[in-house]
Structure 1
Amino acid sequence: MVRDAAAAAPERITLCAGADGEQLSCAQLDARTRALAAAFVERGVQAGDRVAVLGRTGVEWALVDLAALAIGAVVVPVYPTSSDAQIAHILSDSGAVCFAAETEHDAARLTAAGARTVWNFTELATWSEGDEDGELDTRIAAVRADDHAMIVYTSGTTGPAKGCILTHRNMFAAAANTVLQTGDMFGGGERGQAVTVHALPLAHVFGQTILFACLIGGTRTHLLPAIPDLVPVLPRVRPTLLALVPYALEKIRKAARGLLEADAEEEAVRQGIAILRGQTAPGQPAGPVVDLLGGRLTHVISGGASLDTTTAGFFAAFGLHILNCYGMTETATAVTVNEPRTNRLETVGRPIPGTTVAIADDGEVLIKGANVTPGYWGAAADKTPIDRDGWLHTGDIGELDTDGYLRITGRSKEILVTSGGKNVAPTPLEDRLRLHPLVSNCIVLGDGRVFICALLTLDADRWAAWRQAAGASADRDDPRLRHELQIAVDDANTLVSRAESIREYRVVDGDFTVEAGLLTSSLKLRRAAIENTYLTEIGDMYAARV
């Protein structure tokens, strides 16, 4: 795809470092990729060698990615937020023999985990080996669609992460068919070249698939290290599309609140949902929120977790439509995505071309397609999520409507069953709770218990500002804080029946973090770990109701 783009549009800008950094044309990206690939060959990187890469999203990461894949090496992405134990597990299980890191600190962490020589991104940028004997083209030509491209380690919410094998066919099918499903969104069409800011981690398969979709579609892609860097650059880059996780959309929504008058957010949600349901025609949005988004942003692909409907409604009021999608590591993150012209609220869209979705008798979502993994690597090589009929079992619970739109209703391993036999999906409640300005994160509990409860953590900055306004003596037991948070709980409870509602909650110290082992690297809750950490607080909630 890099070489094809260089031949078709050599001068078109394709990858950019941040908002104002280096810009690479298609021809320059091709030349840089070939130079680095030739340098890898010169230094003995063989087809099938696992190349572990630790670093934040950036042009250098993308170049390592493309160069390694071009010569048949296998990329093993490593999150910068991974613990030392997780890094050691990934390096050992993958059998990585080559290593690249963004910073000296990252390199030291790889070395401590057993890596030998670690190449620094800055060092790699200076490599420009020739290819006098033509071996590079031979290596590139030898790569086949079903060769391994990546080993991506799953989040590991319930145990050690499994290395999921993704082939070149898997990655291309996911990325190219996402571009095909979404019309001219990645290309830009009559509006000119599409522009995006890519802040998703390239250590996650969602970030990888979106990178490749941008390269295939011809999107001008500004690469940023992380989601927290996103909001300040939107007015400067003026993107036409984004791909984000709901957590990032929630952060942008909270930032936009400061630009609105009282009650304007609630009115925006009402108007936006009416637009999404076809009850109201969209207008010509303008104002500070549109300016915050850059003035040209019309669509966001949202994946990786569920998104609260009110967030979709809020952004629709300002001309931004959220295209919910669905996937998992085992499908190169792409199974379904909503289309710009037929976006359907509260669904994750229809299957991308070449993918089939079915619902098992027990409600589990099943998948077939060219995007489906051939299996796992290393210690998990004897496990398979694919049954004898070729269906991938996702573990997610869903339903298909008469038009083929998929709706995810829960995850089989996360469904809570109260002692009264009531099945409760915790994620919609959690999504809504996190929208309150004071709430940083939360978990809904109640499996095997008589009622549903929740643990909340406070946003440090918002909590500090609230305390300053309320008085220095204010603490987590302050009745005024309790009143504020009860508003969030009551709002979440409007989504469910009385039997599914949150009856008690507690505010706990600190936050749920990757470093504390309470979140996965992709920011999913490690439910068992959180429950074990806060056993006392959970016990107090249930004791209070006895």
Structure 2
Amino acid sequence: MAVLGRTSYEWAVVDFAVLSIGAVTVPIYPTASEQQIRHLLVDSAASWCFAETDDQRIQLDRIGGAALRAGAWLLETVGAWREADQDGPEDAEFDDRRAKVRADDLATIVYTSGTTGTPKGCMLTHRNLYASSANTVEHTGQLFRSAAGEQATTLLGLPLSHVFGRTILIACLYGGTRTGLVAGVPELIAELPVFRPTFLALVPYALEKIRKRVREPAAGGVGVVDAEAERIAIEFGLASARGLRIDTDLHDAHAAFDEKVYSRVRASFGGRFQHAICGGASLDDSTAAFYGGVGVQILNCYGLTEAATAVTVNVPATNRMGSTGRPIPGTTVAIADDDELLIRGLNVSPGYWQGSPQPTDRDATQAGEGPWLHTGDLGRLDDEGFLYITGRRKEILVTSGGKNVAPTPLEDRVRLHPLVSNCMVVGDARPFVSALVTIDPVALSGWKASRGAEGEDDSWRHNPDLLAEIQTAIDDANSLVSRAESIRAFRVLATDFTVDGGQLTPSMKLRRNVIEADFAADIAAVYG
């Protein structure tokens, strides 16, 4: 059963209905291209489909053709089905099918985001999903459960088409968390003061978006932390005009800033928001500091599709910033001789669909018996078992001078500037490191209006004032690394990276090879 749509109550009901009878859910990102949808339908051999919108339904019918046993259904029809007769022969058949489902049966085929090629279908069993979700709850104490008379509450805006969202949803059901489902980050922001969550599970991209929204209207925000608030911050020596980095040693100043500014941010979050599980990518230190200033503890975690998401998670009692926490129960983590992160446990996928190379095929049996899942990520473990991710084997850049550069921390920091939408660092086999920078269209509109530069051409990207603004973001990023690793030049692009354009995966990861090909002329201009 393929499901195409944004996160919703109906999406969740369909998923659990499918799983309960031993059928297999195949999630499809709502931002997927027609070519990607066709690949998923053909490769998975899906027999039925659900869609969120009528346009999607028509698209699925056209692509699926005769392979579909019925026309695609709309998710909104699910609500009417609950009124159906529950005493007929279908009910007996349902009970019979449900009784036959076993833990090691295939539950879902989740297609990897495909940063380097055609997405592969990762098979996950019922045991994989349960082990990842339930052990996350057991690992994190009372986070998902009621404590001190207050019920744990969350808004789930992660896409259910990604295994992270589904793992969190199952964890919420297992832990008894009051859960509201929203379609995405904009809807989540609007619901925060109403639903008043005690915790959220988000990716760094979403945390950055929320941070920008509460900063200044010029970035398309609501202006909770506005120009006056930043003036107060600078006056008290607590922040730069951009970063809002807090010096916690200045207790008196911090108390004043907390009263005048951060209290307003907490109110916009609903007043109960205390923890954020953050996974999917690295999180910039200044973003973590911002949330820390308003009393929100960031719990970094590490996971991947092939392990049903959860591998390591920080917990409130022992949260260690910079790390991704300790392994959840039932999961073993090891570091290979070449620093690659290896995983073994009940959450690890049995393999890929349709005979694609298995994630555990490569020979590695150190630290115990049985095969290891090779993650492709580089990491280290400290003496207390906390995991630190240090890079990605395929994403480490090596300059022509032989310097190894991890691009992600630089990209994360540049992307925090209110004008910046995205950033990709370039430098592999080149004499120095550079960056391609895209501009947020909403922020750009405000910036152009304030300068009377409303023309339709792209001359704005060469404007000295704009370039000076972006240079501050570059300088900020360069403060994280040595000179040999620093960004020496940058190029502002005329267009943004998009999923439709093929430069981003549906989970918003950079497709570096596609970007390098699409913007080869811009890269050539940087290197002369």
Q: TM-score scaled to structure 2, two decimals?
A: 0.89
State the alpha-carbon separation in 2 of the partners of residues 121 and 174 from structure 1: 27
State the alpha-carbon separation in 1 of the partners of residues 162 and 87 from structure 2: 32
Of residues 250-259 and 433-442 in structure 1, the stretch that sits farther from structure 2 once superposed is: 250-259
Corresponding residue for 1:62?
12
Corresponding residue for 1:221?
179
Corresponding residue for 2:45?
95
State the alpha-carbon separation in 2 of the partners of residues 119 and 152 from structure 1: 20
From 383, 404, 411, the equivalent of 2:392 is: 411
Deviation of 1:105 (Å):
1.0
SS in 2 for 1:484: helix
Of residues 465-474 and 289-298 in structure 1, the stretch that sits farther from structure 2 once superposed is: 465-474
Give yes or no for the alignment of 1:336 onto 2:312.
yes
User: Aligned in 2, Cα 1:90/1:438: closer, same or farther, shift over 3 Å?
Assistant: same
Q: Which runs of 5+ in 2 are unaligned?
A: 216-222, 366-370
Deviation of 1:332 (Å):
0.5
From 469, 482, 507, the equivalent of 1:484 is: 469
Any conservation in 2 of the 1:199–1:224 contact (CA below 8 Å)? yes
SS in 2 for 1:304: coil
Matches within 5 A, 1:273-312: 287-312=263-288
State the alpha-carbon separation in 1 of the partners of residues 53 and 448 from structure 2: 38
State the alpha-carbon separation in 1 of the partners of residues 118 and 360 from structure 2: 16
Q: Deviations along 1:89-136, whole A, 9 cap, x unmatched?
A: 000000111111111111112112215321111223222242544222
State the alpha-carbon separation in 2 of the partners of residues 213 and 426 from structure 1: 33
State the alpha-carbon separation in 1 of the partners of residues 249 and 110 from structure 2: 40
SS in 2 for 1:271: coil
Matches within 5 A, 1:214-363: 214-257=172-215, 258-260=223-225, 261-262=229-230, 264=233, 266=239, 270-271=245-246, 287-363=263-339
Corresponding residue for 1:77?
27
Any conservation in 1 of the 2:380–2:387 contact (CA below 8 Å)? yes
State the alpha-carbon separation in 1 of the partners of residues 247 and 138 from structure 2: 27
Of residues 103-112 and 71-80 in structure 1, the stretch that sits farther from structure 2 once superposed is: 103-112
Any conservation in 2 of the 1:272–1:313 contact (CA below 8 Å)? no
The one-letter amino acid paired with 1:335 is V
State the alpha-carbon separation in 1 of the partners of residues 59 and 286 from structure 2: 41
State the alpha-carbon separation in 1 of the partners of residues 132 and 448 from structure 2: 47
Matches within 5 A, 1:3-402: 51-115=1-65, 116=68, 117-127=71-81, 128-133=84-89, 134-257=92-215, 258-260=223-225, 261-262=229-230, 264=233, 266=239, 270-271=245-246, 287-378=263-354, 380=356, 382-388=357-363, 389=365, 390-402=371-383
Give yes or no for the alignment of 1:540 onto 2:525.
yes
State the alpha-carbon separation in 2 of the partners of residues 190 and 465 from structure 1: 46
Q: Deviations along 1:24-75, whole A, 9 cap, x unmatched?
A: xxxxxxxxxxxxxxxxxxxxxxxxxxx1111111010000001000000000
Any conservation in 2 of the 1:273–1:310 contact (CA below 8 Å)? no
State the alpha-carbon separation in 2 of the partners of residues 510 and 359 from structure 1: 40
Q: Which runs of 5+ in 1 are unaligned?
A: 1-50
State the alpha-carbon separation in 2 of the partners of residues 230 and 348 from structure 1: 25
Deviation of 1:469 (Å):
1.7
SS in 1 for 2:6: coil
Any conservation in 2 of the 1:153–1:162 contact (CA below 8 Å)? yes
Corresponding residue for 1:517?
502
Q: Deviations along 1:187-240, whole A, 9 cap, x unmatched?
A: 121142111111111000001101101111111111011122221111111110
Any conservation in 1 of the 2:200–2:275 contact (CA below 8 Å)? yes
SS in 1 for 2:501: coil
State the alpha-carbon separation in 2 of the partners of residues 334 and 222 from structure 1: 21
Q: TM-score scaled to structure 1, two decimals?
A: 0.86
State the alpha-carbon separation in 1 of the partners of residues 244 and 172 from structure 2: 30
Deviation of 1:266 (Å):
2.4
State the alpha-carbon separation in 2 of the partners of residues 141 and 274 from structure 1: 60
Any conservation in 2 of the 1:231–1:252 contact (CA below 8 Å)? yes
The one-letter amino acid paired with 1:346 is G
State the alpha-carbon separation in 2 of the partners of residues 193 and 186 from structure 1: 9
Any conservation in 1 of the 2:18–2:25 contact (CA below 8 Å)? yes
Q: Deviations along 1:335-369, whole A, 9 cap, x unmatched?
A: 00100111111111110111011100101000000
State the alpha-carbon separation in 2 of the partners of residues 131 and 395 from structure 1: 51
Deviation of 1:475 (Å):
1.5
Deviation of 1:167 (Å):
0.3
Any conservation in 1 of the 2:334–2:342 contact (CA below 8 Å)? yes
Deviation of 1:286 (Å):
5.3
User: Aligned in 2, Cα 1:208/1:198: closer, same or farther, shift over 3 Å?
Assistant: same
Deviation of 1:272 (Å):
7.4
State the alpha-carbon separation in 2 of the partners of residues 417 and 397 from structure 1: 15
Any conservation in 2 of the 1:457–1:507 contact (CA below 8 Å)? yes
Of residues 459-468 and 439-448 in structure 1, the stretch that sits farther from structure 2 once superposed is: 459-468
State the alpha-carbon separation in 1 of the partners of residues 424 and 502 from structure 2: 15
Deviation of 1:471 (Å):
2.9
The one-letter amino acid paired with 2:417 is H
State the alpha-carbon separation in 1 of the partners of residues 248 and 72 from structure 2: 51
Q: Deviations along 1:395-454, whole A, 9 cap, x unmatched?
A: 000111111111101100000011111110100000000000000001001111110000
State the alpha-carbon separation in 2 of the partners of residues 124 and 239 from structure 1: 27
Corresponding residue for 2:218?
none
SS in 1 for 2:136: helix
Q: Deviations along 1:285-312, whole A, 9 cap, x unmatched?
A: 9511111111100001011111001111
Of residues 295-304 and 225-234 in structure 1, the stretch that sits farther from structure 2 once superposed is: 225-234
User: Aligned in 2, Cα 1:535/1:110: closer, same or farther, shift over 3 Å?
Assistant: same
Aligned residues with identical type, % of pairs: 56
Any conservation in 2 of the 1:273–1:313 contact (CA below 8 Å)? no
State the alpha-carbon separation in 2 of the partners of residues 274 and 191 from structure 1: 34
Any conservation in 2 of the 1:272–1:314 contact (CA below 8 Å)? no
Of residues 110-119 and 348-357 in structure 1, the stretch that sits farther from structure 2 once superposed is: 110-119
State the alpha-carbon separation in 2 of the partners of residues 242 and 274 from structure 1: 28
Any conservation in 1 of the 2:438–2:494 contact (CA below 8 Å)? yes
The one-letter amino acid paired with 1:262 is E
